[in-house]
Amino acid sequence: MPSAVYVVSIDPQASTVWWANRITDLPFDFSQEHETPQNLAVLKDTGARVHVIANQKGGVGKTTTTLNLAAVVAEVLKNQKRLHHIFIDTPGSLQDENLLLEALKYAHDVIVPMPPEGLAFDPTARTIQKVIEPTGLPFQVVINNWDPRDGVADLEDTQAYVDAQGWPRTRTVIRRYKVHTRASVEGRVVTQYPKNRVAMEAREDFFRLALELGYGGAA
């Protein structure tokens, strides 16, 4: 049976493929297309919603968000018989802007992961203002990698910054959990985490995000 979810990476660094290759029993279809971005054109005719995960700042959680959001949506839609959602993971560098622009041609919306730290503000603003806003596509900032043990000051500063820019952001914040960091090394996505309390909390963020974005229902 075809999966309801398809993940495409166009990051030449290919950490997604490295991760995906380590996952036994991947809960979605996956392909790496940075050498042939023109292949993305076929995505338009699938009838699925195409979501691009973008931020030209490296290491903000694009791949983590892509694979885990795809995994929870695949779990929710596991009995669907056709493709509903496509997630495209993109490069975290300015050099590969042409690849990001290519992906945006086929997108229905854009998700912009951003950590709650001042260093990320300017690079995120550049991506949104120079690359995403000119396309006119709807986008949402998702604050990722917030450690509740650090207190709420950085989180609130980041939320205030995003709001002051007039950028839409999700209410859901993806918290920082060791289990996410470890998962990329161990080749696991959230739906495959062990069933302990911390892992359940870590999963919950991605389920809440999928629900808030409206990706859980049949498109």
Ligand X SMILES: Nc1ncnc2c1ncn2[C@@H]1O[C@H](COP(=O)(O)OP(=O)(O)OP(=O)(O)O)[C@@H](O)[C@H]1O
Chain residues that interact with ligand X, rule: CB under 6 A = 11, 13, 15, 58-64, 92, 144-145, 174, 176-177, 180-181, 184
Range 44-103, binding Mg ion (CB under 5 A): 62-63
Name residue 50's beta-bridge partners: 86
Name which of 15 and 135 has its Cβ closer to Mg ion.
Answer: 15
- Given Mg ion, ligand X, none, residue 51, with its beta carbon under 5 to 8 Å by kind, binds none
**Binding track, positions 1-20, relative to Mg ion; x by CB under 5 A:** --------------x-----
Nearest distance, CB of residue 104 and Mg ion, angstroms: 17
- Given Mg ion, ligand X, none, residue 75, with its beta carbon under 5 to 8 Å by kind, binds none
Return the amino acid letter for 149. Answer: R
Name which of 39 and 181 has its Cβ closer to ligand X.
Answer: 181
- Given Mg ion, ligand X, none, residue 61, with its beta carbon under 5 to 8 Å by kind, binds ligand X
Nearest distance, CB of residue 123 and ligand X, angstroms: 10
- Given Mg ion, ligand X, none, residue 60, with its beta carbon under 5 to 8 Å by kind, binds ligand X
**Exposure string for 123-145, b = 16+ CB within 10 A, e = fewer:** bbbebbeebbeeeeeebbbbbbb
d(CA 207, CA 215): 10
**Nearest residue to ligand X, by Cβ distance, number only:** 92
Name which of 33 and 76 has its Cβ closer to Mg ion.
Answer: 33
d(CA 7, CA 156): 32
The phi and psi torsions of 83 (rounded to 5 degrees) equal -75, 125
Nearest distance, CB of residue 111 and Mg ion, angstroms: 13
Binding stretches for Mg ion (CB under 5 A) = 15, 62-63
